[in-house]
Amino acid sequence: MGLVSRGTAAAGLGPARAAVRPSPPDAVPNLISTPPPEGAAPGSSRIPSMVLKAFFPTCCASADSGLLVGRWVPEQSSAVVLAVVHFPFIPIQVKELLAQVQQASRVGVAVLGTWCHRRQEPEESLGHFLEGLGAIFSHEPWLQLCRERGSKFWSCKATRQQVPTCPATSGEDQVMLVFYDQRKVLLSQLHPPAALPDRQAGDATASAVGLAAVFDTVARSEALFRSDRFDEGPVRLSHWQSEGVEASILVELAKWAAGPICLLLTCLLSLVSAASACRMFKLWPLSFVWSKLSTCEQLRHRLEQLTLVFSTQKAKNPTQLMRKANMLVSVLLDVALGLVLLSWLHRKDRIGQLADALIPVADHVAEELQHLLQWLMGAPAGLKMNRALDQVLGRFFLYHIHLWIGYIHLMSPFIECILWHVGLSACLGLTVALSILSDIIALLTFHIYCFYVYGARLYCLKIYGLSSLWRLFRGKKWNVLRQRVDSCSYDLDQLFIGTLLFTILVFLLPTTALYYLVFTLLRLLVVTVQGLIHLLVDLVNSLPLYSLGLRLCRPYRLAAGVKFRVLEHEAGSPLLLLMQINPLSYSRVVHTYRLPSCGCHPKHSWGSLCRKLFFGELIYPWRQRGDKQD
């Protein structure tokens, strides 16, 4: 096979002409369906030819003349140009290169046509010479793109070697030239389109399929872009990396060292996981306590994330890779915020100040609770209470407060040491420190939780007792087996006893309900504070920080679609469009790449929460095994 050589001079890319009739920024012409040809003479008997879409990279607009290498998509009647092969070249070497690229990328890369860039000196025989290459690299259709010397217009042709079946049909097809940024399309990830109210489902699906073919072709043809300008290969190409591969020594060293580091961290994490899965920690008291502490759940969640991030297995798709990157950035930010908190706590002996202020605050809270109970034991807000039950409940709760004050003063010598170790745990991350703070609040308000449980149980017992006795008056009863209310006949003694019990419960209900209401409000205050802490922890755990950073710095990496801007649209010249990437919105980025949270806290709707409060059902600070999440 002989050497094919044509010399051309080098020149820069000229500015594109302003649009004659530019489309709005959000207007996206349909490049999937084939529009009717423009410029046809009225009354002509010529049958309109098919319009082909040629996606041409902007980096090749100033390249020397040569061959167009890319992929032909017959379903969309589109040609995706990937690179330009320059003279001189040997045809057999070009075919070998394309075969290697096809084997590595599984993409049908072929020679689509010729590219002619007439620069300073006119060359009459150049066009005929390029047309003759169609006999060596046969492709149907054969594209002929030409940029004239000293002109801003482009010449685009698509010829077919086969003889037309209809005599009135032309052998040339019209070409719509679409310019695209090859680097941005290669690095971007096209997301499925959202359902828009002004677009039909079929049109959105067809457009998505057509754009996905273009993005997939460029992304999978990365093996074609590995050539370097310092690499004296047999075939010289022009593409987005023609000036050299984008890389640095630091990046290459990081890639080289990532494997051993990940392997070492994986071994350490496996040892920690094996130690936490020891049988001793699965005994009943330890397993129950550890399942209820927010700190243990957060540490387990971080351990799972670190195991996934430092796994030696490569990500199977870009979604998994993005998930790993989001987890890594979340962990790094969490640790950085924890170190900032640790430095703030150890500066100016703030831990000692907190320990000195904790005991007076606990005594003040206990004193306020004693005043509240003494107010309830009298005539609160002028209400007439049951004197005997009021005194019993008040003294019962006052005794609990006395025990709690003694417990706090017993632990006072160790509080500063405990707070010092809690502050030191901030090096594991801000979320771990916040989880420990939530557990400390739960321990310090344990007496309020006990008051709430006692009041809720008494109130729930009376509510269910009144409902059962109310069914007795109506001649009904609750069928436990069938889980329904059935009719039942009662004798006179049962009705008499039921009346007495109903009267007693009705007159005792206001006293019990008042105590339940007061301690429920205190419990809801504590739950609200813990809920805000858990919300902040879930925000740090689930927020996709890496994806949001990409959306802010490189919005083309997260593509929601494309828009087209008209560059040239005049009679007698092909339609020139510029394809631009529409980035994802911030809300959709968060919705798409949101990380799973810890998931150990209950999530109730307002309806279920009000129902539980009305019937006196307990609101646990942790998720129950049989609860249904609303």
Is 196 a residue whose pLDDT tops 60? no
Mean pLDDT of the chain: 77
Q: Please say if the pLDDT value at position 596 is more than 50.
A: yes
Secondary structure percentages of the chain, helix, strand, coil, to 5: 55, 15, 30
Predicted TM-score of the model (pTM): 0.73
Comparing 286 with 203, which gets the higher pLDDT? 286
pLDDT at 346 over 70: yes
Selected residue with higher pLDDT from 444 and 265: 444
**What pLDDT score was predicted for residue 330?**
92
Which whole number is the average pLDDT over 558-562?
Answer: 87
567 and 576 Cβ atoms separated by less than 8 Å: yes
Which of 69-78, 173-182, 584-593 holds the top average pLDDT? 584-593
Q: What type of residue sits at position 299?
A: L
If one compares 286 and 317, the residue with the highest pLDDT of the two is: 317
Identify the band that residue 536 occupies on the pLDDT scale cut at 50, 70 and 90.
very high
Average pLDDT over residues 240-248: 57
Q: Which of 20-29, 267-276, 450-459 has the lowest mean pLDDT?
A: 20-29
Helix segments in 65-123, DSSP class H = 91-105
- What's the rounded mean pLDDT across residues 446-470? 90
Give the least confident one: 75-89, 274-288, 380-394. Answer: 274-288
Q: What is the mean pLDDT of residues 233-256?
A: 65
Higher per-residue pLDDT: 50 or 453: 453
**pLDDT for position 267:** 75
Average pLDDT over residues 499-527: 90
What pLDDT, on the 0 to 100 scale, is given for residue 484? 85
DSSP 58: G
| Average pLDDT score over residue span 497-503 | 89
Q: Which amino acid would we find at residue 503? A: T
Which residue would you say has higher pLDDT here, 494 or 193? 494
pLDDT value of position 264? 74
Assess whether pLDDT exceeds 50 at residue 594: yes
Mean pLDDT, rounded, for 195-208: 47
Query: What per-residue confidence (pLDDT) applies to 48?
Result: 44
Half-sphere exposure of 256 (CA within 13 A, CB side): 6
Q: How far is the C-alpha of 563 from the C-alpha of 561, rounded, in Å?
A: 7
Q: Looking at mean pLDDT, say which of 186-200, 272-286, 306-320 comes out highest.
A: 306-320
Specify whether the CB–CB gap between 239 and 83 falls below 8 A: yes
Half-sphere exposure of 519 (CA within 13 A, CB side): 30
Q: What single string gives the DSSP state of each residue in 154-217?
A: EEEEEE-SSPPSSTTB-SEEEEEEEEE-HHHHHH-EEPPPP--TTS-HHHHHHHHHHHHHHHHH
What is the rounded average pLDDT of the residues 368-385? 85
- Give the mean pLDDT of 71-96: 85
Instruction: With cut-offs at 50, 70 and 90, classify the pLDDT of residue 42.
Output: very low
Predicted pLDDT at 547 = 92
Confidence of residue 604 (pLDDT cuts 50, 70, 90): low
Query: So what's the pLDDT on residue 193?
Result: 57
pLDDT in tens, 102-154: 888 888 888 888 888 765 444 555 555 666 676 677 778 888 888 876 566 67
Q: What is the pLDDT of residue 361?
A: 87
* Range of weakest confidence among 75-79, 81-85, 234-238: 234-238
- pLDDT for residue 86: 82
Position 142 scores a pLDDT of: 84
What is the mean predicted confidence (pLDDT) over 435-445? 87
pLDDT above 80 for 555: yes
The Cα 253–Cα 251 span in angstroms is: 5
Q: Rounded to an integer, what distance in angstroms lies between the CA atom of residue 240 and that of residue 217?
A: 15
Quick one: what percent of the chain has pLDDT higher than 70?
73
pLDDT at 174 over 70: yes
pLDDT at 26: 40
pLDDT of res. 132: 64
Which residue in the block uniquely carries the two structure tokens 């916040």?
Answer: 434
Across 255-259, 549-553, 615-619, the highest mean pLDDT is recorded for 549-553
Which segment of 36-40, 185-189, 591-595 scores lowest on mean pLDDT?
Answer: 36-40
Q: For position 607, what pLDDT does the model report?
A: 78
| Radius of gyration, CA atoms only, the chain | 38
Q: In the numeric block, which tokens belong to residue 87? A: 């003279």
Could you give all domains of the chain from N- to C-terminal order, each with its CATH number?
51-160+171-192+205-238 (3.40.140), 341-543+599-615 (no CATH)
Q: What tokens were used for 445?
A: 């308000």
The residue ranking higher by pLDDT, 509 or 33, is 509
Q: For residue 333, is pLDDT > 90?
A: yes
pLDDT the model gives residue 13: 37
Confidence at residue 586, expressed as pLDDT on a 0 to 100 scale: 92
Q: What's the rounded mean pLDDT across residues 8-14?
A: 35
Nearest to 211 by CA among 20, 39, 30: 30
C-alpha–C-alpha distance, residues 209 and 214, integer Å = 9
Q: Which range has the worst mean pLDDT, 205-219, 321-335, 357-371, 547-561?
A: 205-219
Q: Can you name the residues that pair with 486 across neighbouring β-strands? A: 477
